[in-house]
Amino acid sequence: MLPPSPDPTAQGTFAQTPFPHLLVYALERALTGTFEFSLGSRSGDSADEQSVATMQVIQGVPAKLRTTDGVYYLGDVMAELGLVSLEAVRASQARMTESPRLQGQILRELGATDDAGIEAGVRAQLDRKVEYIFGLSPDVIFSYYEGVDTLQRYGGTPTPIDPLPALWRGVRQHPAWDHIEATLRRVDGAAVRIKANASLDRFKFTALEISALERLRTRATRVADFASTSVVEADVAQLLVYVLIITKQVDLIGNPSASLVPDAENSQVFARVKIQTRPFQRAPLVVEEAAPRNASDGRLASPMPQPIPLSIPAASPSTDAVSLANPSALDHKSLKQKIIGRATAISAQNYFEMLGVETDASPETIQEAFFGLAKVWHPDRLPAALVDAKDACSKVFTHLTEANATLCDKERRAEYMRLLKDGGATPDDQAMIHAILDASTEFQKAEVFLKRNDTGQAMVHASKALALDPKQADYLAMVTWLQALKPDALGRAPTLEKIAVFDRCIESNANSERAYFWRGMLYKRIAETAKSVRDFKKASQLNPRNLDALREVRLFNLRGGQSSPPPERAPSAGGAAPASNRQPSLAPPQPEGRGGIFGKLFKK
């Protein structure tokens, strides 16, 4: 049972405010005190509650954590990290039964480690214990006691850690989907982009997760689009965005009114704490790996920087735009047409053209132009009669916001000027570039699955690649080949239909090695030996490392130029081709006929 204690400064449950939001809340406000986690009723009588964990925070950073259930003993954690041997851990446990002392002290006395090893072990232990809290029941009650240290006599000295790695692991292992979906719904319709000064390295993301997030660093993307096209699973993509949102690592483009604050700020769970809602446009959270100590008195120095205030110049009214909030000058039909026309035209404009400024305009001039246009094109200013034009208006506002953010940032503007010079600076150009890159990624996945004889998954990704970039002959060639492997496509008539598709592929790209090779396989299927060998020779000329094509030519020569009987057996289980028909190992193709920025994307 909990001992008598003063009234909590704030109180709630994980069902109302999940632990990740609570952790972020403490970080942002640099809280110093103790969180008590318990099960029972919030009757005000501590005797009705059963403690499950106690966490001390110093200036918002977890510094010490005790759990009622024994989890992550220090010796076990240090042995796992290779800091001490298992024999030393067992010896320390034996001595602990003789005289109750801290295990770290005993390990040091045994000569098994030093102070640095103990500190590293304590940090790792605390990191794992913080992650453990994420798995507690939603019924857990949290009580926060400002300025109170109930763990003063527990363990050694406080050892603050950066909680963000445990935050990500905890969210991924124990996602509170109700709260996650509610957070993502609040930003629905907005595009998400990682801030230029975001601290993603602190989360200890995996290489694949970092690869997925690179897309959000270079382009603002809606959550739904990111989840459906990411290199990670859709649910992991959603969790990544959720964590970056609640930790203020991203900007929202096109929906500035959306709330990025944790649930604690949108509910009454902190009934005794006056919570000030902050705008999302602020510096990302920064917490040192270990909070530094002041040299003078040894106290912990603050690891939290102050928020960077926004300096917004006064907006000037736009002189060339229609006021959407006051459509009296035009009837609604004409105004709607103007909105839709602007939404269509803006995709073909560069950022300077969108804002109506010269390419050498100063940041002050750009901001002045943007705020004047923002008054006009903010979708919330649309009258009710034009609600069906809101998506078009939002599109315009999104591009204007992106243009302003890019051109007012020195580094991003310099990068954009290089892009403008290369000819890929409009949203239409960027959409095409990203479609090409995404298609290439899907095609590479298709190649991997085809090599594994998983033709079902190969078809899924090849079809996506073709949909994203339908002009690529190799993408159409792979889809056609996979279709030709199906049992109902083995006859002469369907085979000739597929050969005709390969003819079109080669017409559009005379260097499509894949199209030649696969067409040769189909000619071989219907005993058109001369044509099949011709295609195999062409494929091997285009790629001397195409061992499958070279083997077919060599077999033809070994037979003295005689035709071999066509294969009679159907593709193997799962629809895969026979061994002689399998896809050769090929490097990703080089697209033909793409100049400027598109050509540079695929430059060798």
Q: Which residue has the higher pLDDT, 572 or 378?
A: 378
For residue 64, the cross-strand partners are: 56
How sure is the predictor about 568, in pLDDT bands with cuts at 50, 70 and 90?
A: very low
Structure tokens at 425: 């600076």
Q: Mean of the pLDDT values across residues 170-195? A: 88
pLDDT digits (tens, 9 = 90+) for 77-95: 888 888 888 888 888 888 8
pLDDT digits (tens, 9 = 90+) for 7-45: 888 999 999 889 999 999 999 889 999 999 998 754 545
Whole-number percent of the chain with pLDDT over 70: 77
Closest among 175, 151, 158, 159 to 21, alpha carbons compared: 175
pLDDT digits (tens, 9 = 90+) for 580-589: 344 443 333 3
Cα angle value 118/123/129 (rounded, 5°): 125
Examine the pLDDT at 336 and tell me if it is beyond 60.
yes
- CA–CA gap between residue 86 and residue 230 (Å, rounded): 42
Q: Which residue has the higher pLDDT, 139 or 423?
A: 139
In CATH terms, the superfamily for domain 430-601 is Tetratricopeptide repeat domain (1.25.40.10)
Examine the pLDDT at 295 and tell me if it is beyond 60.
no
- CA–CA gap between residue 183 and residue 260 (Å, rounded): 8
Question: Domain segments of the chain: what residues?
Answer: 10-162, 175-265, 327-425, 430-601
The b-or-e profile of 366-382 (16+ CB within 10 A means b, else e) is: bbbbbbbbbbbbbbebb
Examine the pLDDT at 496 and tell me if it is beyond 90.
yes
- Looking up tokens 């039909």, which residue turns up? 333
The CATH code belonging to domain 327-425 is 1.10.287.110
Share the mean pLDDT of the chain: 77
Closest among 195, 150, 144 to 19, alpha carbons compared: 144
pLDDT of residue 324: 53
Q: Which residue has the higher pLDDT, 295 or 344?
A: 344
pLDDT of residue 516: 94
C-alpha distances (whole Å) from 352 to each of 338, 342, 420, 493, 569 are: 20, 15, 10, 56, 62
